[in-house]
Structures are given as C-alpha cells and as structure tokens.
Structure 1
Amino acid sequence: MPLIDMPLEQLYQYEGRNPMPADFDDYWNRSLNEMKAVDAQVELVPASFQVPHAECFDLYFTGVRGARIHAKYVRPKHVQGPLPAVVSFHGYTGRSADWSELLGYPSLGIAIFAMDCRGQGGSSEDTGGVKGTTHNGHIIRGLDSGADDLLFRHIFLDTAQLAGIAMQLPEIDESRVGAIGGSQGGALAIACAALEPRIKRAAPFYPFLSDYQRVWEMDLAKDAYEELRTYFRRFDPLHEREAEIFERLGYIDIQHLAPRIEAEVLMAVGLMDTICPPSTQFAAYNKIKAPKSLEIYPDFGHEYLPFFQDKTMQFMLGL
C-alpha cells in the first residue's frame, strides 16, 4: 500500500516521540481536583428545536477558570430510565452538531450530550487571561504562561466535567456512558475517558493532539498543526527553547493520558492521513491498556470513513 508514514507493523510497535513531563500524573490529579472544586451551576433550558420522539435542551455549566460551557442535550421521550448516554465532541475550531444530527442516538433510547469547546465555533465562553499569543491556535494558547494555563488543559477538563454532570442526572445510568468524536473530537473522547474513569466505552477516530514532536519531525506542522510552526517562527526562531516547548506540550498530549483509560475502546485510523499522521494516532492507541480494537482504512486520510459511524453506533448499543 502507499505510505506516508511507517509500515503498519512498525506502527503497532511505535511508542511516541513527544516527552512526557516527570510530574504528568500529579499535574492531572491537581487539575482534576481544581475541576471538582468548581460550583458547576448546571442549567437546563428547553431548546427552540423540538421533535416528537425526543426532548432537546441547552445545557450550561461553569468550568475551570469560570468559563460558562454550553452543550446540547437530547434525551428520548417515553423511554423508561435510567438511560445510557454518549458525550460527543466536535472537530477543531468547529461547534457541536446541529440538533437534527443528534437524533439518531435518542431514537435508540440513548441520550446524547454534544459539547461546544470553549473559544471555538459554538456558544461556550473563553475567559482568556494568559500571557503571550492568542492570535493563532489553541494548542499553543498559554504556552508562555505555564502549564496550568494551557487552553487544552481546560478543554480536556470540560470533557470530564460534562461526562460527570451527565452521570449525575437522575435519568442517566452513570455506569452506561460512552464518549465519541473525530479529529479534535477523537482526542477529546480519549481525554474524557482518561479523566473520567467511569466512561464505559469510547469510540475516537483519527484523533488530533497527539505526539507533537513527531508531527514536527515529519514536517507536517501545517493545516491543523500549523500553529506549532507559527509559535517557533514568532517566539523562538532559533529553536533555543525547543526541548522545553515540546515537554510543556506533553501535558496536553493524549498519548500520555491514554494509559489512564478504563473504557473499552473502538478506534479508527486512515493510513493516508497527513493532517494527523498515523504514527501519532498509534502512539496513543498503543498505550491504551483497556480492551481495544482498531479499524484501519489503508486508502483513506483525514476524511469521511465509510461505515465507521455505523460501527460506532452499534458499539454504543452495548453500553
């Protein structure tokens, strides 16, 4: 098959290049404690969009650093609870799916929560307050302020907080919640399952936000990863701080979160993906210790993967 990365047998052995900070676990344990101390002030508002077989709500909660986060919540009508649920995450810079796109799971008796990432295309709030660039890119947001100010730290925590809020609702069965998403959404599904260990099943496809140093070394710091190049060109043109920067990015590298996952995982990767290179995805997949399976699309890149959404839905029927 054509190759843009390592041969498949090497991909299954690949363990990643980006360094993991020595205090990585302490960092995330502290971060989770910060999240748990937040008064979420959950609010459910009936949405203007409604259909006969489901109830639609705008859900709001307060996340870390005081940001007000929005998610769409759709639950089936006339179904005896407690219900299984999925939390869904969107692609980079985007927003949660339209209401009409969220109706499939409620038709099967499964509630769905679709989060808007703070500072991107939806309705969630970005409270800002960091030193350094905010012009181009969320990966590098907060790099100059320190690891606790990395924006994706906050977004990863939002995913876990939303899952926890879903599990606390009286109509939801907390032991039957899954996480889904592609690209950035795939990364967030992995982060959610890693930071909220009660997630039962996760189905990420071609996850973003993994193995930044490998992306750099492949000369693929373009498209979704362009901001890595932007940062070095503008703030470290001689790469005097390169090791420091990649180590700090290690705090928000999903490959290092992957070993925390307890959920069963179904993942998909396209071997022609030049947006999120296959090796970076395998770096995360290979570190998952929980039961897992991988759907490989040899001729596909960062694009629609035929049948995988159907397989994901079938997978989530097992919640």
Structure 2
Amino acid sequence: MPLIDMPLNELQKYQGSSIRPVDFDEYWTRALDEMRSVEPCIEIIPNEFTVSFADCYDLYFTGVRGARIHAKYVKPKYSKEAHPAIIQFHGYTVNSGDWSSKLGYAALGYSVIAMDARGQGGYSEDKGGVKGNTHYGHIIRGLDDDKDNLLFRHTFLDTAQLAAIVMELPEVDENCVVATGWSQGGALTIACAALEPRIKKLAPVYPFLSDYQRVYNMDLAKDAYEELRTYFRLFDPQHKREVEIFTKLGYIDIQHLATRIKGEVLMGVGLMDSVCPPSTQFATFNKITAPKRLEIFPDFGHEDLPGLHDIILDFFCDV
C-alpha cells in the first residue's frame, strides 16, 4: 500500500519518540488537585432551539484559572430513568457544532454534551495571563511560562471536570458515560478518559496532540502542527533549547496519559494521514492497556472515514 509513514507492522510496535517528563505523574496529580478545588458554579440555561423529543440547554461551569466553559447539552425529553450520556469534543480551532448534529443520539435515549474548547471557536473563555507568545496556536501557549500554565493543561482538565459534572446529573447513569471526538476531539477524548477513568467507553478518531517530536522529525510541523515550526523560527532558531522544549511539551502529550485509561477503546486511523501522522496515533494506541480495538482505513487521510460513524454508534449502543 502507499506509505507516508512506517509500514503497518512497525506502527503496531511503535512506542513514540517524545520525552516523558520524569515528574509527569506528579504534574497531573497536582493539576487534578487544582481542578477539584474549583467551585464550578454550574449554570444550565434553556436554549431557544427545540425539538419534540429533546430539550436543549447551554451548560456553563467554571474551570481552572477562572475560565467559564460552555457546552451544548441535549437531554431526551421523555426519559424516566437514568440514561447513558455521550460527551463530544470538537476539532482544533472550531466549536461544538450545530444542535441538530446531537439529535441522533438524543433520539436513542442518550444525553449529549458537546464542549467548546477554551479560547477556540465557541463560547468558552481563555483567560490568558501567560508570559511569552500568545499570537499563534494553543500547543505553544504558555511554553515560555511555568509548565503549570500550558493552555492544553487547562483544556485537558476542562474535559475531566465536565465528565464529572455530567456523571452527577440526576438524569444520567454515571456508569454509562462515553466520550468521542475526531482530531483535537480525539485527543481530548483520550485526555478525558485518562483524567476521569470512570468513562465507560471512548472512541477517539485520528487523535491530535501526540508525539510532537515525531511530527517534527517527519517534517510535518505544518497544518495543525505548524505552530511548532513557528515557535522554533521565532524563539529558538538554532534549536539550542530543543530538548527543553520537547520535554515541556511532554506534559501535554496524550501518549503519556494513555496508560491511565480504564474504559474500553475503539480508535479510528487513516494510514495516509499527513496532518496527524499514523505513527503519532499508534504511539498513543500502543500504550493503552485497557480493552481496545483499532479500525484502520489504509487509503484515507485526515478526512471523513466512511462507515466509522456507524461503527462508533454500534460500539456505544451496548454501553
């Protein structure tokens, strides 16, 4: 088959190139302690969009560093017992999407909660306040500041905090909460299930934010990863700080979180993906120790993967 990366037999063994910081576990323990100390001040506000079988709400909560985080919340109207919920995460720079895109799962009796990542295309806040570059990209946001100020640290925590909020909703069965997303949404799905291991099932598709060193070494720091190249060109043009920079990025590298996942995993990957290279995705998948399976699309890249939405729905339907 055509190749842009390693052969499949090598991908299935690949364990990643990026550095795992020595204090990685302590870093995320401290981060979760900060998250749990926040009073979320939850608001659930009816939205004017309505359908006959579901109610639609805007859900807001306060995340770490005081940011108000927004999610769309669709609840089945006639459900009399606690029911499953699906948490959805969107791609890089965009938002939680239209209400209508949530209605299929609501019609099946699921509550659907779709988060806006802070500071991107939706209504969630980015409070800012970091030293250094804020002009280009969220991967490098806070890279010149304390490691506890990396923006994706806060976004990963938002996913876990939202999951805990969803599990406490009286209409939701806390033992039947699942998560899914594509690209950045796939990365946030993995972060969510790693930091909130009660997530029952998860379906990440070609996840972003994995194995930054590998992306750079493949000369694919472009498109969604272009900010890595921009950072080096502006702030370290001779790569004198390369080890330091990639080590710091290791705190927000999802492959290092993957071992924490307890829920069952279904992951989709296109082997011609030049945006999130397959090896970076396998670096994460190969570290997952929970029950898992991979849906492989050999001739597809960072695009719609035919039939995968149906496979994911079937995977979630027996939760």
With the length of structure 1 as denominator, give the TM-score of the two structures.
1.00
Name the counterpart of 1:271.
271
CA distance in 1, matches of 2:105, 2:192: 19
1:114 has 2:148 as partner: no
- Quote the residue 2:133 is aligned against: 133
Aligned to 1:102: 102
Alignment partners' CA distance in 2, 1:205 and 1:148: 27
2:238 corresponds in structure 1 to 238
1:213 aligns with 2:213: yes
SS at match of 2:300: coil
Aligned length: 319
Q: State the 1:56 CA deviation.
A: 0.4
Identity %: 67
> 1:48 Cα deviation (Å)?
1.2
Looking at structure 2, the residues matched to 184 and 81 of structure 1 have their Cα atoms a distance apart, in angstroms, of 33
Partner SS for 1:274: coil
Tell me the CA shift for residue 172 of structure 1.
Answer: 0.6
Q: Does 1:73 align with 2:73?
A: yes
C-alpha deviation, 1:314, in angstroms: 1.1
2:88 maps to a residue whose letter is S
Secondary structure of the structure 2 residue equivalent to 1:180: strand
Is the partner of 1:137 in helix, strand or coil? coil
- The CA deviation at 1:297 is 0.2
Structure 1 equivalent of residue 249 of structure 2: 249
Which string of whole-angstrom CA distances, capped at 9 and with x for unpartnered residues, describes residues 116-147 of structure 1? 00000000011000000110000000000021
Residue in structure 2 matched with residue 285 of structure 1 by the alignment: 285
For residues 38-93 of structure 1, the C-alpha deviation after alignment (integer angstroms, 9 at most, x for no partner) is 00000000011111100100000000000000000001011122010010000000
What displacement does 1:97 show?
A: 1.6
Separation (CA, whole Å) in 2 of partners of 1:64 and 1:252? 16
Q: Which residue of 2 aligns with 1:201?
A: 201
- Counterparts of 2:318 and 2:36 in 1: how far apart (Å)? 29
Kindly provide the CA deviation profile for residues 231-265 of structure 1, in whole angstroms up to 9, marking residues without a partner as x.
00000011010000000000000000000000000
Q: CA–CA distance in 1 between the matches of 2:80 and 2:199?
A: 21
Give the structure 2 partner of residue 189 of structure 1. Answer: 189
Structure 1 position 143 matched with structure 2 position 143: yes
Give the structure 2 partner of residue 38 of structure 1: 38
> Equivalent residue of 1:228, what SS?
helix
What CA distance in whole angstroms lies between the structure 2 residues aligned with 1:244 and 1:174?
Answer: 40
1:3 CA drift (Å): 0.3
What secondary structure sits across from 1:305 in the alignment?
A: coil
Residue 318 of structure 1 and its aligned partner are, at CA, apart by: 1.7
**What residue is the counterpart of 2:299 in the other structure?**
299
Instruction: Give the secondary-structure state (helix, strand or coil) at the position aligned to 1:173.
Output: strand
Distance in 1, matches of 2:124 and 2:182, equals 19
Asked if 1:10 corresponds to 2:14, the answer is no
- Describe the superposition over 1:124-174 as per-residue Cα deviations: whole angstroms up to 9, x where unpaired: 011000000110000000000021000000000000000000001111111
Counterpart in the other structure of 2:26? 26
Quote the residue 2:158 is aligned against: 158
Is 2:85 aligned against 1:85?
Answer: yes
The aligned amino acid for 2:43 is E
SS in 2 for 1:60: strand
Tell me how far 1:11 sits from its aligned partner. 0.2
C-alpha distance in structure 2 between counterparts of 1:81 and 1:297, whole Å: 38
Aligned match of 2:261: 261
For the residue of structure 2 that corresponds to 1:103, the secondary structure is: helix
SS of corresponding position for 2:257: helix
CA–CA separation in structure 2 for the residues paired with 1:230 and 1:118: 22
Partner Cα distance (2:33, 2:46) in 1 = 31
